[in-house]
Amino acid sequence: MTDAIQSAVKEFIMTEFLPGEDPDELTPTTPLVTGGILDSIATMKLVLFMEERYGVRLEAHETDPEHLDTLVDIAALIRAKRG
Amino acid sequence: MATRALHETFTRTAAAWGGRTAVVEPGRGEIDYAGLDGLAGRVRDRLVALGVRRGDRVGLYLPKSIDGVAAMLGILQAGAAYVPVDPGAPAPRCAYILQHCDVRLVVAEAGLADRVRPELDALGARPGWLVVEAPGGGHGLAAALDRLDAASPAPAAPVQYPAGDEVAYILYTSGSTGRPKGVTLSHENAVSFVDWCSATFVPTADDRFSSHAPFHFDLSILDVHVPLHHGARLVLISEESGKDAMHLASLIASQRISCWYSAPSILALLAQVGRLEEHDARSLRLVLFAGEVFAVKHLRALTARWPHPRYFNLYGPTETNVCTFHEVPLPVPDERTAPYPIGTVCSHLRARVVDDAGRDVDPGAEGELCISGRGVMLGYWAQPELDARAFLVGDDGTRWYRTGDIVVESAGVGYTYRGRRDRMVKRRGYRVELGEIEAGLYRHAQVREAAVIALADEEAGVRIRAFLAARGGARPSLIEMKRFCAANLPMYMIPDQFSWCDELPKTSTDKIDYQRLKALP
């Protein structure tokens, strides 16, 4: 099933943080924070992207690895925030 | 001046300020001076009952918490040295540190203890344990002590006051051979630094200090020990919230922090994404930063938004803690692009600038900054060969620590940082030996050759690029390499970029040619 939010976030992460990588390597469950792909600065950039693109505002506790570690988690968080 | 033990003043402060808040852990709780002294005393009694003696090392392997502060003080009161270990670092690295300095015991969070125990077993190390189930607010530590007391009460043990030259703590930093090295600091080292901070920043009991840096990072010495010397309040910022630049300004406002201290990287992020205009930061009177160069454009943005505090650039390796300082004159001019100087030498230390042969250079010439005095470390734990290289011994027998930093001195401003003489870089305030990253990469089964270079980057300060040659045909993906690094290296050591080559370029003597690597696109 194609998930529009996951696709958009994936495209952002591929372009910003994984240039040159085969897109098939980044799966919906690849660990992003605990897997060393997103460091703290990259996570901030991702949060800014999410806030701007989807008009959501993330709270402090929502920017930890528990909520942002995979594309599945990120898409779920955005959906929950949009209500 | 007679030297006292690092925790000596705290005992008096606690008696004088008993009911005042000592440490706040936002969202988890707070503790007053009497409570903190009581909890630290219980740790001391239990450690002694478990066999810890003056002169021992004790691992501190807890997330940042009131429990961690109390454990640190309890270890010192037992006369032992604390060895803070990064809860976020891979278990093999933590086990190496605990084994290397032969800790008698580890105060550890339960999950972390489970992770590191098999690694310690494999190294043949068998330390004692004080396991804390759920550290936070001091409650987890108190519960752990309650459980042990119920089984067998710990007899009261006297507070130990080690001499100035006894070890207070060991901070492990990146080592070029792939193994971290233990910077060993004495009570006199720590106390002389705390006293310099007291004279320079004049803290009072009304101050509220941030604790942004993790305890295994040398910035934590100022964060923790300066406020506790003055009856001030320490506000702990957890590892997670510390990285969250978008919400730090609200924390500074709600906790009414007056003295902020961190690496510049988080302040640069704060200036960019911190929504500073939404929060009242009038409580701030001091913003101190150290650990790397603060990009001027971000410092300008920060000071424009927050013009009221005083800003200090503090400089110094873990081996000396802060050794020079410079107050940034405000406003930061629009046309300025050059980073600010590292400034003049602190009053408890002396500085000189030498050439490769160890001779003083002419005033105004470039050279390596060397530091001597009461703040300079005892040495590297159990690595005398590193000590021999780290110190220049003067004709009068004075030990001068060679910082490895190339500086130039000019009238009026003191020293300006120019670069490094070796392969060490600063990233997010951390010291990173590029050789340690290479050693980590070589552990990957598919990696035949690895070389790492650091490139200047205006946004991130420094970008780390790894060049690799694969064993056989298949090249691991970028994601696989990042995941491998995340499992084997601290986060701040993971390269930003990976490039594969058939073979790395070599010099005529068959060594990796770093100059050619730097020229590659």
Q: How many residue contacts between A and B have a Cβ separation below 8 Å?
A: 60
Question: What percent of chain B stands above pLDDT 70?
Answer: 100
Chain B residue with minimal CA distance to A25? Answer: B479
A44–B contact, CB cutoff 8 A = yes
What is the domain class of B348-420 according to CATH?
A: mainly beta
Instruction: Convert the pLDDT of each residue in A26-40 to its tens digit.
Output: 999 999 999 999 988
3-state secondary structure B394-414: CCCCCEEEEEEEEEEEECCCE
Q: Which of A30, A58, A64 sits opposite B479 (nearest CB)?
A: A30
Whole-angstrom Cα distance, residue B93 to residue B493?
A: 13
Residue spans in chain B of domains classed CATH 2.30.38.10: 348-420
Instruction: Identify from A18, A30, A41, A51 which residue to disrupt to test chain B contact, counting B C-beta atoms within 10 A and taking the largest count.
Output: A41
Residue spans in chain B of domains classed CATH 3.30.300.30: 425-519
B444–A contact, CB cutoff 8 A = no
What is the amino acid identity at position B326? Answer: H
CB contacts, 8 Å: B485 with chain A: 36
pLDDT value, residue B333: 96
What is the amino acid identity at position B370? Answer: C
* Sign of the CA dihedral running B115, B116, B117, B123: positive
Q: What interface predicted TM-score (ipTM) does this complex get?
A: 0.87
Among B45-54, B84-93, B454-463, which stretch is predicted with the lowest mean pLDDT? B454-463
Q: Which of B247, B483, B491 sits opposite A39 (nearest CB)?
A: B491
Angle value at C-alpha B460, between B351 and A81, nearest 5 degrees: 135
Adjacent-strand bridge partners of B402: B370
pLDDT value, residue A2: 62
Residue spans in chain B of domains classed CATH 3.40.50.12780: 8-189
Contact B246 A63 (CB under 8 A): yes
Mean pLDDT of chain B: 94
CATH ID of B425-519, from 3.40.50.920, 3.30.300.30, 3.40.190.10, 3.30.70.2860: 3.30.300.30
CB contacts, 8 Å: A22 with chain B: 477
Q: Place A1 in a pLDDT band, splitting at 50, 70 and 90.
A: very low
Q: Place B388 in a pLDDT band, splitting at 50, 70 and 90.
A: very high
**Above 90 in pLDDT, residue B10?**
yes
Angle value at C-alpha B223, between B221 and B228, nearest 5 degrees: 90
Query: Quick one: average pLDDT of B382-392?
Result: 95
Query: Quick one: average pLDDT of B348-374?
Result: 95
CA-wise closest residue to B376 among B394, B408, B355, B402 = B402
CATH of domain B8-189: 3.40.50.12780
Q: Place A82 in a pLDDT band, splitting at 50, 70 and 90.
A: confident
Contact A41 B460 (CB under 8 A): yes
pLDDT value, residue B367: 96
Contact B479 A25 (CB under 8 A): yes
Q: Place A20 in a pLDDT band, splitting at 50, 70 and 90.
A: confident
Instruction: Convert the pLDDT of each residue in B207-223 to its tens digit.
Output: 999 999 999 999 999 99
A72–B contact, CB cutoff 8 A = no
Exposed, middle or buried: residue B292 (CB in 10 Å: 0-12, 13-18, 19+)? buried
The residue written with tokens 């400089």 in the block is B315
**Above 80 in pLDDT, residue B2?**
no
Q: Place B337 in a pLDDT band, splitting at 50, 70 and 90.
A: confident
Whole-angstrom Cα distance, residue B444 to residue B470?
A: 10
pLDDT value, residue B507: 85
Q: Where are the beta strands (DSSP E) in B156-308?
A: 167-173, 181-186, 208-211, 233-236, 259-262, 286-290
